[in-house]
């Protein structure tokens, strides 16, 4: 499904973000990417969503070379990917329901689809009773669950979660990880970056460890080893 082939990214000739990175992610996998700050985790995700270009190498989604997609067609490609951020990125003047619906409206979805899919997304993240709450009325964990619902509502092939539990307490962290696991069990590929050892050890799924822009470990049923 996803294939990085000898991907490197250098800035200003000296700064190395990625160096000769090769790996693949199969459909329906749950892959965690770990490493210290500056290891290259975020740079790797930016390559996948075509927000950055490699200095060398190629990134494929199925048979498509991502960085050869014409700019005008990038939005169509990015609709295949739902993104979850550490800082939620919810619109403060919209309710939970409206934040999720906005993602569908931006994709040109019909009102009937929105009316059907948004409640389903809220149910999947166990927030039916918070649909009409604004972000300031939600806990950190609830905000992140809204963000996950927004990411999945257009039924993407992949969910990218960049440090999704970084601002959460242990209980909220557990809830968010269980929801990501449930989404994966339903057939969506999940790629998550994290610093949280407990999350990785509890998941027991594939772990890619990065250091100074390189992949130094790739364990199919990994633990957090640095």
Taking only the tens of pLDDT, the chain with its 226 residues reads 899 999 999 988 678 999 999 999 999 999 999 988 889 999 999 999 999 999 999 999 998 999 999 999 998 999 999 999 989 999 999 999 999 999 999 988 999 999 999 999 999 999 999 999 999 999 999 999 999 999 999 999 999 999 999 889 999 999 999 999 999 999 999 999 998 888 888 888 999 999 999 999 999 876 666 6
Angle (CA) 160-23-25 rounded to 5° is: 45
The DSSP result for 5-48, as a single string, is: EEEEEEETTTEEEEEEEEEEE-TT-EEEEE-STTSSHHHHHHHH
CA 6 – CA 81 distance, rounded (Å): 22
Structure tokens at 155: 């039924």
CA 102 – CA 156 distance, rounded (Å): 16
- The pLDDT value given to residue 36: 86
pLDDT tens for 98-116 read: 999 999 999 889 999 999 9
15-25, strands of its sheet edge to edge:
15-25, 2-11, 56-61, 64-65
pLDDT tens for 129-143 read: 999 999 999 999 999
């Amino acid at each position: 499904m996803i294939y990085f082939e000898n991907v490197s990214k250098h800035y200003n000739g000296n700064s190395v973000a990625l160096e000769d990175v090769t790996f693949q992610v199969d459909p329906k996998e749950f892959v965690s990417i770990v490493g210290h700050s500056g290891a290259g985790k975020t740079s790797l995700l930016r390559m996948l969503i075509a927000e950055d270009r490699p200095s060398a190498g190629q990134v494929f989604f199925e048979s498509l070379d991502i960085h050869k997609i014409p700019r005008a067609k990038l939005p169509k490609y990015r609709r295949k990917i739902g993104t979850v951020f550490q800082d939620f990125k919810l619109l403060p003047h919209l309710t939970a329901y409206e934040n999720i619906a906005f993602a569908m409206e931006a994709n040109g979805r019909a009102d009937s689809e929105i009316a059907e899919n948004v409640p389903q997304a809220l149910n999947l993240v166990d927030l039916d009773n918070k649909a009409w709450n604004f972000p300031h009325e939600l806990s950190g964990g609830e905000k992140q669950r809204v963000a996950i619902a927004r990411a999945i509502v257009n039924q993407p092939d992949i969910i990218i979660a960049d440090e999704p539990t970084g601002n959460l307490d242990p209980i909220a962290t557990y809830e968010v990880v269980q929801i990501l696991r449930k989404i994966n069990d339903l057939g969506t590929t999940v790629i998550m970056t994290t610093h949280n050892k407990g999350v990785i050890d509890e998941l027991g799924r594939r772990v890619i460890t990065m250091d100074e822009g390189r992949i130094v470990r790739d364990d199919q049923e990994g633990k957090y080893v640095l």
